[in-house]
Amino acid sequence: MRIILTILFLTFFVNTEAQIINARPVYRGVAAAGGSYPDTVAKFNMSLTSNAVTGFTNLVGDPNVGIRSGTSGSVTLSSIATGDTYWQDNGSSAAGLVTEVTDNGHFPAASGSGYFFHQNLTYPSGGNLRLSGLVVGATYEIHVWSNRPQTTDNRLTKIACIDNGGTEDITNINSAPSTTSVTSTRSQITSGGTVYFFKNKVPNGSGEISFQVAAASGWTYGYANAIIVIRTA
């Protein structure tokens, strides 16, 4: 009897845990990785003016006119370079901070209030965001949240990741959300924008991984709001 009750309890617990993970769509990449959440080593959010979010390092300012950077633990995120080639502005700035009301289940809503953007369809050569201070030879999973924080204006972004293995590009983002587990690089559209998953990424010999952020085809702006860096091996 005791054995039967134990089995029933374990079955309920496992099923409940799976439901909790699957109920939060953006966590499906972690669930697909084996069910255990790997070590998070850095969290960043971007904004035009200060936007403090617990646990996140805030990159503040207009990346069009000055290189913006911040360090979380031993990892640094930088906007790399200035000017329209990297961060084309809208005539006043290439960043913003507004009221965000949508929690996408992975990133806290406050981290989506701010953003950097590139008003261009062309990827900046070499990237316009760069992680450094990563462990050479280690493997990372990186989640990038892209959201125009207005529920009536969810503009779509394309993002490419440049690591030691080359460039992996997400250029075509569908208007319908993905409902399957993330087994490799995938995007997940939610009511709070799009989360881009980059899995099995290995830094170059300098401990760097870069990203190219631009507008998706048919759209005007490419956004980057927040980044979570997870070491998986």
Mean pLDDT is highest, among 76-80, 88-92, 173-177, for 76-80
pLDDT at 112: 82
Residue 46 placed within a domain:
yes
Residue 103 placed within a domain:
yes
Instruction: Please state the φ and ψ torsions of residue 43, each to the nearest 5 degrees.
Output: -140, 135
212, 159 Cβ separation under 8 angstroms = yes
Residue 136 placed within a domain:
yes
Residue 13 placed within a domain:
no
Q: What average pLDDT score do residues 86-90 get?
A: 94
User: pLDDT category, 134, cuts 50, 70, 90?
Assistant: very high
Quote the percentage of the chain above a pLDDT of 70.
68
Residue 19 placed within a domain:
no
Instruction: Please state the φ and ψ torsions of residue 60, each to the nearest 5 degrees.
Output: -120, 135
Helix, coil or strand: residue 72: strand
pLDDT of residue 83 exceeding 60: yes
Residue 14 placed within a domain:
no
pLDDT at 102: 60
Residue 1 placed within a domain:
no
Residue 49 placed within a domain:
yes
pLDDT at 103: 59
Mean pLDDT is highest, among 2-11, 35-44, 45-54, for 45-54
pLDDT of residue 22 exceeding 80: no
Q: What average pLDDT score do residues 147-162 get?
A: 71
Tokens 């590009």 label which residue?
169
Q: What average pLDDT score do residues 124-153 get?
A: 86
User: pLDDT category, 215, cuts 50, 70, 90?
Assistant: confident
pLDDT of residue 31 exceeding 60: no
In angstroms, the CA 118 to CA 122 distance is 9
User: pLDDT category, 219, cuts 50, 70, 90?
Assistant: confident
Q: What CATH code is carried by the domain that includes residue 112?
A: 2.60.120.430
Which carries the bigger pLDDT value, residue 8 or residue 124?
Answer: 124
Tell me what the pLDDT averaged over the chain comes to: 75
165, 202 Cβ separation under 8 angstroms = yes
Q: What is the residue range of 82's domain?
A: 25-231
Q: How many domains does the chain have?
A: 1
Give, in order, the Cα–Cα distances in Å from 32 to each of 97, 180, 184.
33, 10, 9
pLDDT at 107: 80
pLDDT of residue 201 exceeding 90: yes
